[in-house]
Amino acid sequence: MSVDLDRWHPTHVYLAFWLQDKIKREGLEGIHYMEHARDWAERNAGDETADAISKELSKL
């Protein structure tokens, strides 16, 4: 994927690369947002699916 960096303000480009490097060096320890999202999905997948099916069936 190619991105034209010239169309972005130089400060934004600098900050994007700075943030990328910071995350690479320090990681995202302590946030665990993906683990939280996965756990929520595992706990609620059945209910969410049942609700979606019920909603569609009620339209019939």
**How many domains in the chain?**
1
What pTM did the predictor assign? 0.42
5 within 8 A of 13, measured Cβ to Cβ: yes
Q: Which amino acid is at 20?
A: Q
51 inside domain: yes
Per-residue DSSP letters for 1-60? ----GGGS-HHHHHHHHHHHHHHHHHTTTTT-HHHHHHHHHHHHHHHHHHHHHHHHHHT-
Q: Which amino acid is at 33?
A: Y
- Tell me: the pLDDT tens digits for 2-54? 778 889 899 999 999 999 888 888 877 656 677 888 888 899 999 999 999 99
48 inside domain: yes
Residues of the domain holding 35: 23-55
Tokens for 1? 């994927």
